[in-house]
Amino acid sequence: MDPNPNIHRQYRSFVTHLECSLTGERYEADRVHGLSRAGRPLLVRYDLEAMRGAVPRIAIQGRPTDMWRWRELLPVRDPKHIVSLGEIETPLVPIPRSGGTHVLVKDEGRLPTGSFKARGLVMAVSMARALGITRIAMPTNGNAGAALAAYASRCGIETIIFCPDDTPEINVREIAMQGARVWRVNGLIDDCGAIVGEGARQGRWFDFSTLKEPYRIEGKKTMGLELAAQLGWELPDAIFYPTGGGTGLIGMWKAFAELEALGWIGSKRPKMFAVQAAGCAPMVRAFEDGVEHAERWENAHTVAAGIRVPRAVGDFLILRAVRESGGRALAVEDNAILKAVDDTAKRDGLLMCPEGGATLAAYRNALAQGLVSEDDRIILFNCSTGLKYPMPEAPLWLDRTQPIDFDAL
Ligand SMILES: *Cc1c(COP(=O)(O)O)cnc(C)c1O
């Protein structure tokens, strides 16, 4: 039986090679790679010229809308390696009452494992499987570990996951439940990353840290591809993206370049707003200082666990995309994040995660500062279902054996 019935029989990737994001040095495709020799992320390259001649835009439009409709622009060569859990196209949900008339939330909480980490990890795990990797370790703030655990367990790859010991309880448990060995560590995500790096140097496992393997970014870039298709091949005016390691922002920026090279979109680009929490804003500081690399943010803290990333190996790629786009890196306070989550839930019925709330809070600030206008078409990213996060108590209780005061209900 075909394990992935949604994937058409005619399957072809136009992948040609990989390239160091800093030096442009070339690396062979279809090999196991970590970082480049310069210690930077590797980017996957495709023969866009050949694809331009072979695959018209309309061919994509005729396919099912899941992630695999973008197969030519993805690194998996043989669909038998795809470890799918049903990666659907996520909807654009208007939030007119809490956001504004032209504000749409791309709701990534609908993906397998409840977050957009599924996009990156389905690709990275499928490639690991294709390349014969059997043991993977990863540092995580929660959602990436959950997605890795799910996809890896599904194809028999062993996983060891390290998270800060104050990672939301539900994330730690979902990781364990989906078959990984998950360790709580008394440190932040980069401290966990150091353990993963040391184990990899000892040859114990393959290092799946953000951007330290080349394929997660290819999965994440499908957010940009999808956006283009959903908006009739005209990109929005601005995108607000909650930025930790920045995979999604870098991936979307790469996707837009690929789409333009194919002639599927024009040269218009959205302003990219990298949103961080005021308690952990290394990209905002680097952006404002006008530098290419961000220093580690000390004593990082925020309610938005997914963007509590003190240091990012792809810092220069995030900053370049933001600057080239005419956007900004913006920091928002935790109270504004929680207020935004509350407003969207109560007024528009959409329960976002705190990181999603951060994008609405940042949009509100950007609007007040005149960085965007009310007539602009805006995309906010809600990266995870709000159901994974602590919610305020709901303490009302009724004793049905006593007389009920219906006026008070
Ligand atoms: C991982 C994560 C982010 C940050 O995504 P990056 O692409 O790594 O910057 C934001 N929000 C949530 C909920 C996440 O899990």
Residue 312 sits in a domain whose CATH number is 3.40.50.1100
Could you give the percent of the chain with pLDDT greater than 90? 96
Does one domain contain both 312 and 349? yes
Which residue lies with its CA nearest to atom 6 of ligand 1?
A: 246
Last residue of some domain: 191, 207, 223? 207
Residue among 115, 217, 381 to mutate when testing ligand 1 (max atoms within 8 A of CB): 115
Does one domain contain both 291 and 371? yes
Contacts of 24 (CB under 8 A, 6+ apart): none
Does one domain contain both 156 and 295? no
Does one domain contain both 272 and 363? yes
Residue 161 has what DSSP assignment? E
CA of 98 from ligand 1 middle (Å) equals 22
Q: Is residue 409 part of a domain?
A: no
Does one domain contain both 241 and 195? no
Residue among 90, 119, 121, 143 to mutate when testing ligand 1 (max atoms within 8 A of CB): 143
CA distances from 265 to 195, 224, 235, 255, 325 (A): 43, 12, 8, 11, 16
Contacts of 296 (CB under 8 A, 6+ apart): 190, 282, 310, 311
Nearest ligand 1 atom, CA 243: 9
Q: Where are the beta strands (DSSP E) in 100-151?
A: 103-107, 135-139
Q: Is residue 309 part of a domain?
A: yes
Last residue of some domain: 155, 187, 207? 207
pLDDT value at 162 more than 60 = yes
Does one domain contain both 160 and 97? no
CA distances from 139 to 65, 199, 245, 299 (A): 31, 12, 12, 18
Ligand 1 close to Cβ of residue 242 (< 6 A): yes
Strands 15-20 and 42-46: antiparallel
Provide the CA 203 distance to its chain's centre, in angstroms.
28
Q: How far apart are CA 231 and CA 409, in angstroms?
A: 44
Does one domain contain both 285 and 319? yes
Q: Within 13 A of 250's CA, how many CA atoms are on the CB side?
A: 28
Does one domain contain both 357 and 266? yes
Does one domain contain both 148 and 277? no
Domain that holds residue 73: 5-81
Which pTM does this prediction carry?
Answer: 0.95
Does one domain contain both 314 and 263? yes
**Cross-strand partners of 18:** 27, 44
Q: Is residue 402 part of a domain?
A: no
Provide the pLDDT confidence category of residue 9 given band limits of 50, 70 and 90: low
pLDDT digits (tens, 9 = 90+) for 177-189: 999 999 999 999 9
Residue among 355, 360, 382, 389 to mutate when testing ligand 1 (max atoms within 8 A of CB): 355
Rounded to an integer, the average pLDDT of 5-22 is 82
Does one domain contain both 268 and 327? yes
pLDDT value at 274 more than 80 = yes
Domain count, the chain: 3
Picking from 318, 321, 328, 335, the residue whose alpha carbon sits closest to that of residue 278 is: 335
pLDDT value at 121 more than 70 = yes
Residue 210 has what DSSP assignment? T
H-only helix segments in 202-245: 216-220, 222-230
Does one domain contain both 378 and 316? yes
Provide the pLDDT confidence category of residue 11 given band limits of 50, 70 and 90: confident
What pLDDT does 4 receive? 53
pLDDT value at 133 more than 90 = yes
Residue 238 has what DSSP assignment? E
Q: How far apart are CA 145 and CA 101, in angstroms?
A: 36
Picking from 53, 55, 56, 45, the residue whose alpha carbon sits closest to that of residue 12 is: 55
Supply φ then ψ for residue 312, to 5 degrees. -130, 130
Q: Is residue 384 part of a domain?
A: yes
Q: Is residue 98 part of a domain?
A: yes
Q: What is the mean pLDDT of the chain?
A: 96
pLDDT value at 340 more than 70 = yes
Q: Is residue 406 part of a domain?
A: no
Spatial strand order of the sheet with 15-20 comes to 26-28, 15-20, 42-46
Q: How far apart are CA 76 and CA 91, in angstroms?
A: 25
pLDDT digits (tens, 9 = 90+) for 191-202: 999 999 999 999
Q: Is residue 403 part of a domain?
A: no
Q: Is residue 407 part of a domain?
A: no
Ligand 1 close to Cβ of residue 76 (< 6 A): no
Residue 332 has what DSSP assignment? E
What pLDDT does 2 receive? 45
